[in-house]
A and B are shown apart, each in its own frame.
Chain A
């Protein structure tokens, strides 16, 4: 751990370090180059997983699975697309799998659960912003349930596109590439997701 931290500190920052050189070095088995590559993107990857799955354990699983898949397949990366596009394609596939599995599980459990007894995942995670305004806090509290429900009612693809565009700031073209679809399809997905959320919030927004 100590060795790794120092080694990474001694390396130039990713802006100075040419990414293509890093990828080539990692392809030749340079583990430090691989670590530097991981560190350039892993915070975003973890944030995407956390925002989508709202569970530190599942986010951790996605992180491991994604970067191990990158490590195993780095040899086959031929620079046909940018590295982040390739990485996000892997991450989105894994996250979509998790979301789909979860949806199936939820549908299976839906009959057994009472309507009001559902576990609110948003209660279990730390809020990104400390909000000190009591009025806003109250409003946020009421909105929370509706947004939570609206987000969980989106299809996994809609949820993914909304996440990548709204929270990660990726362009729709890049999102289309990551999801193996067209920009137009990503656009439609974002539109549907926003409309659904808008309808679910009703008078609150």
Chain B
């Protein structure tokens, strides 16, 4: 293949959208052609630059969208069920057809009650089939887990509600749900189990929005050892500059033990790249007459 042909394929090559043979040809060509390798690198730069422009919707926006949708769906559901079902049923037919439909309904009820076995219970909400095996008389035996939805409503002070909310702070697939549960629980931060859940979220939640929410909720307890230790961990290791910034502000504003804080800040100065956080650390260390870094 010529260089022009290879360059035409590079776009799809980057996304793994070529056939096996095409990919082989590109690989072989790239191994010997410097110019096409440069073109491939340029394409990678373009992709990286595009990645930098990606925007992520905030969790607040997600939460607002969900609330609005829920309200609109509730209204639509109410409208569609406000008429009695028999009126909807009959409103479609002609006058002549109505007696026939009535008889049909009666017949369906009469025979249905006799034909449907009593053991035929409502289908489970969700099934996860574990295994299938042959049974006697050509039947098949299926073992499955059944999941059903339940609902409770109550105040955050109710033990059951609180436990459900605490469990929701660990919901693995839905950061929006985790943020909402932190929001509901933050007024009960005086409870140790709530603080523990927030500390865990602050240190290990994969979502920046959830970590920030937990940090905000823990602010009144920033003087406590467990919270300070979490803030220190976050300051030294969190990937988000926003979380690290809020963490240093909180640690500095609520400091009790100067030498402990100096140690943390010196450690931070060795690894921090963000200019605001470095400046903040430098100012505090200078005010303490401490050296900027440990050697």
Q: Are A63 and B180 in contact (CB under 8 A)?
A: no
Q: Are B70 and A64 in contact (CB under 8 A)?
A: no
CB distance from A60 to the nearest CB of B (A): 5
- Complex Cα–Cα for A18 and B153 (A): 26
B245-267, CB under 8 A of A: which get 1 and which 0? 00000000000000000000000
Is B280 in contact with chain A by the CB < 8 A criterion?
A: no
Within 8 A of A (CB), among B241-290: 241-242, 273-275
Q: Which residue of B lies closest to A143 (CB)?
A: B49
A99-135, CB under 8 A of B: which get 1 and which 0? 0000000000000000000000010011111111110
With A31-B77, A59-B57 in contact, do A197 and B66 touch (Cβ < 8 Å)?
no
Within 8 A of A (CB), among B117-175: 125-128, 145, 147, 149-153, 161, 164-165, 167-168, 171-175
With A64-B69, A194-B11 in contact, do A166 and B50 touch (Cβ < 8 Å)?
yes
- Complex Cα–Cα for A187 and B61 (A): 33
Within 8 A of A (CB), among B224-243: 239-242
Contacts of B54 in A (CB 8 A): 51, 128-129, 167
28 A-B pairs whose Cβ atoms sit less than 8 Å apart in the complex: A1-B67, A3-B153, A6-B165, A8-B174, A9-B167, A10-B149, A13-B173, A32-B151, A38-B66, A42-B62, A59-B57, A64-B65, A64-B69, A67-B69, A126-B55, A127-B52, A127-B55, A129-B54, A130-B241, A132-B273, A143-B49, A162-B50, A166-B15, A187-B12, A190-B15, A201-B46, A205-B42, A205-B46
Contacts of B57 in A (CB 8 A): 43, 46-47, 49-50, 56, 59
Q: Which residue of A lies closest to B45 (CB)?
A: A205
Q: Which residue of B lies closest to A2 (CB)?
A: B184
Interface pairs A-B: 3 shortest CB-CB: A9-B168, A132-B273, A130-B241
Is A172 in contact with chain B by the CB < 8 A criterion?
A: yes
- Complex Cα–Cα for A194 and B9 (A): 12
Is A82 in contact with chain B by the CB < 8 A criterion?
A: no
A2-22, CB under 8 A of B: which get 1 and which 0? 111111111111111110011
Within 8 A of B (CB), among A35-93: 35, 38-40, 42-43, 46-47, 49-51, 54, 56, 59-60, 63-64, 67-68, 71-72
A contact set with B: CB distance below 8 Å:
1-18, 21-22, 25, 29, 31-35, 38-40, 42-43, 46-47, 49-51, 54, 56, 59-60, 63-64, 67-68, 71-72, 122, 125-134, 140, 143-144, 147-148, 151, 162, 165-167, 171-172, 187, 190-191, 194-195, 197-198, 201, 204-205
Contacts of A171 in B (CB 8 A): 17
- Complex Cα–Cα for A5 and B53 (A): 32
- Complex Cα–Cα for A81 and B175 (A): 28
Q: Are B61 and A197 in contact (CB under 8 A)?
A: no
Kindly identify which residue among B43, B65, B151, B273 contacts A60, using a CB–CB cutoff of 8 Å: B65
Q: Are B11 and A190 in contact (CB under 8 A)?
A: yes
Contacts of B45 in A (CB 8 A): 204-205
Q: Are B167 and A126 in contact (CB under 8 A)?
A: no
How many residues does chain B have at the interface if contact means C-beta atoms less than 8 Å apart?
68
Known: A2-B184, A56-B58. 6 other contacts (CB 8 A): A9-B168, A11-B147, A42-B65, A68-B72, A133-B273, A166-B15
- Complex Cα–Cα for A1 and B176 (A): 12
CB distance from B82 to the nearest CB of A (A): 13
- Complex Cα–Cα for A138 and B74 (A): 49
With A12-B126, A194-B43 in contact, do A3 and B58 touch (Cβ < 8 Å)?
no
Q: Are A166 and B149 in contact (CB under 8 A)?
A: no
With A64-B72, A130-B242 in contact, do A191 and B65 touch (Cβ < 8 Å)?
no
- Complex Cα–Cα for A59 and B15 (A): 26
- Complex Cα–Cα for A205 and B51 (A): 13
